[in-house]
Chains A and B, each alone.
Chain A
Amino acid sequence: MNINLTLFGQMIAFVCFVLFCMKYVWPPILAAMKEREQKIADGLAAADRASHDLELAKEKAVERLKEAKQEAAAIVESANKRGNQLVEEAKGAALVEADRVKASAQAEIEQESNRAREALRSEVAALSLAGAEKVLGAAIDQEAHKQLVEKLAAEL
């Protein structure tokens, strides 16, 4: 337990170690720790920003969805309108067509009945002539009575 030169030896060693620590140990370790701290802070900030962005995106998505729904509703509505319009148009066209068909059918019927009437008329003429022939028992002068019979037939 004597005080001796060890005192100064320790002082010199102390100075050396402190200088070494100050120069080669403390700065790199602290710099690395500071850098990591910064990195973590940045990471957290980025995460915050990302969650904020997500929130915004969600809001946007909801808005877009709403818009899309409205648009779809509008489209459906206009389609319905158009459909109704088409139906109306088709109905009109069909009516016109039906009228046309009816008219032509009527014309045909008219024609047919006329033709039938004509045929009948000639038939009746022939028949009445034949009938008259039988009744009279004598041949009617075809040429002489033809005019009469035809007049009769025309009256039918």
Chain B
Amino acid sequence: MAAAGETLTISGYIVHHLTNLTYGKLPAGFERHAADGSVSVVPEGGMWTMANEGTEAAAMGFTAIHVDSMLWSVGLGIVFCWLFRSVAKKAEAGVPSGFVNVVEMIVQFVDDTVRDTFHGHNKLVAPLALTVFVWVFLMNLMDLIPVDLIPHTLALLGVPYHKIVPSTDPNITMGMALGIFILMLYYSIKVKGFGFVKELTMNPFNHWVFIPVNLFMEVVGLLAKPFSLGLRLFGNMYAGEMIFILIAALFSAGIAWLVPAGLLQMGWAIFHILIITLQAFIFMVLTIVYLSMAHEDH
């Protein structure tokens, strides 16, 4: 729903849905436009506040945090930990039942995937892959909740913006990708030592003359990994979310659109079940592959 100062147009509706609830520091001298049209200027030293509109969020720059993304992402992470911890406590060698079966199936699946792909010895990779898979899946799953349900409810309670799908926020996906990138660097150096430097400088042309060329190509290749990892998930989920929003916007096009829009909504949601699982799986597999590459000496 439109926040203060916005009229309810289709583009306004879409932009509104794509704006995060942002808490951050407004720079000094920024002019805030209140709902009643009055203008206030941010005093010297800046001001930490909740952004009331997209321009304010943009003005905050890097010193801001997406409250909704963080809350949902951490909340879902806690859901994951709680669910799996409760099973871990119950787990025993007897006959498993109910939810324990589901969790064990996921664990088995992740374990098999890790075993197939990752050949080094590392106690971190399998739990990391499990966390990535389930957490990303849960974050993606939020996409299936009707786009207006939670944001609109919260809007009635006075929260101006809300995005409930954390994986449509590049900060979230890139945050995870960067975490994995740091692990890649750490294990590359730890396992290969000087070999890592050699890998960066002596590939693909094994001659000292080509060291700058090699270094450039290898560094680009290395940096491409976390970016492709994070942006792939973000892009897929963002596009999916966008289509949900467009379909939701169709409902406002008149009573005649009710049935087709409903069918579209349902069709896309069913198709999206595949996408969210697939994206979570791809993110996990790439994580394992990248870490596996970091462990393998050429």
Classify the secondary structure of B's interface with A: helix
Q: Scoring B residues 141 to 175 as 1 if CB is less than 8 Å from chain A, else 0, what string do you get?
A: 00000000000000000000000001001111011
In the complex, A103 has a CB within 8 A of chain B: no
Shortest distance from the beta carbon of A112 to any chain B beta carbon, whole Å: 104
Report whether B62 and A4 are in contact in the complex, using a CB–CB cutoff of 8 Å. yes
Contact between A10 and B176 (Cβ–Cβ < 8 Å)?
Answer: yes
- A13 adjacent to chain B (CB < 8 Å): yes
Question: Which residues 59-114 of B sit at the A interface, judged by CB distance below 8 A?
Answer: 60-66, 69-70, 73-74, 77, 80-81, 84-85, 87-89, 91-94, 96, 103-104, 107-108, 111
A116 interface residue (CB < 8 Å to B): no
Q: Is the CB–CB distance between A5 and B176 below 8 Å?
A: no
**Alpha-carbon separation in the docked complex, A21 to B80 (Å):** 9
* Contact string against B for A residues 95-139, beta-carbon threshold 8 Å, 1 for contact and 0 otherwise: 000000000000000000000000000000000000000000000
A-facing mask of B239-278, CB < 8 A → 1, else 0? 0000000000000000000000000000000000000000
Q: Is B4 in contact with chain A by the CB < 8 A criterion?
A: no
Contact: A25 with B178, CB < 8 Å? no
- Tell me the smallest distance from the CB of A148 to a CB of chain B, in Å: 132
Q: List CB contacts (< 8 Å) of A1-58 with chain B.
A: 1-11, 13-18, 20-22, 24-33, 35-36, 38-39
| Contact partners of B85 in chain A: CB under 8 A | 20, 24-25
Cβ of A25: which chain B residues have Cβ within 8 Å of it? 81, 84-85, 88, 127, 130
| Minimum Cβ distance to chain A for residue B3 (Å) | 17
Residue B224 is within 8 A (CB to CB) of chain A in the complex: no
Known A3-B174, A10-B70, A11-B175; contact A17-B77, beta-carbon cutoff 8 A: yes
Residues of A within 8 A of B64 (CB): 2, 4-6
B74 touches A13 (CB 8 A): yes
Asked if B28 is at the interface (CB within 8 A of a chain A CB), the reply is: no
Q: Which A residues lie within 8 Å of B178 (CB)? A: 7, 11
B107 touches A30 (CB 8 A): yes
B193 contacts A by Cβ under 8 Å: no
Q: What's the dominant secondary structure at chain A's contact region? A: helix
How far apart are the CA atoms of A26 and B178 in the complex, in Å?
A: 23
Residue of A nearest to B104 (CB): A33
Residues of A near B166 (CB, < 8 A) are: 10
Q: Are B57 and A10 in contact (CB under 8 A)?
A: no
In the assembly, what is the distance between CA of A25 and CA of B133, in Å? Answer: 14
Residues of B within 8 A of A9 (CB): 65, 70, 171, 175
Chain A interface residue count, Cβ-Cβ cutoff 8 angstroms: 34
| Docked-complex contact B128 and A8, CB < 8 angstroms | no
A33, chain B: closest CB distance, angstroms: 6
Q: Known contacts being A1-B18, A5-B65, A28-B89, is A18 close to B171, with CB within 8 Å?
A: no
Contact residues in A for B108 (Cβ distance below 8 Å): 33
* B74 surroundings in chain A (CB, below 8 A): 13
Q: Is B204 an interface residue (CB 8 A)?
A: no
A16 to B174, CA, bound (A): 16
> Which residue of A1, A9, A15, A35 has the most chain B CB atoms within 10 A of its CB atom?
A1
The answer on a CB contact under 8 Å between B93 and A39 is yes
Nearest A residue to B77 by beta-carbon distance?
A17
Asked if B66 contacts A29 (CB within 8 A), the reply is: no
A5 in contact with B62 (CB, 8 Å): yes
A17→B84 CA distance, assembly (Å): 11
The answer to whether A6 and B103 have CB atoms under 8 Å apart is no
- A7, A32, A38: residue with the most chain B Cβ atoms closer than 10 Å: A7
Does B128 contact A3, Cβ atoms closer than 8 Å? no
- Residues of B near A15 (CB, < 8 A) are 179
Having A3-B170, A33-B104, one finds 5 other A-B pairs with CB under 8 Å, namely A5-B64, A11-B178, A13-B175, A27-B88, A30-B107
10 contacts between A and B (CB under 8 A): A4-B63, A5-B62, A5-B65, A6-B69, A10-B172, A11-B175, A14-B179, A15-B179, A17-B131, A21-B128
* Residue ranges of B at the interface with A (Cβ–Cβ < 8 Å): 18, 22, 24, 57-58, 60-66, 69-70, 73-74, 77, 80-81, 84-85, 87-89, 91-94, 96, 103-104, 107-108, 111, 123-124, 126-128, 130-131, 135, 166, 169-172, 174-176, 178-179
Using a CB–CB cutoff of 8 Å, the interface residues on chain A facing chain B are 1-11, 13-18, 20-22, 24-33, 35-36, 38-39
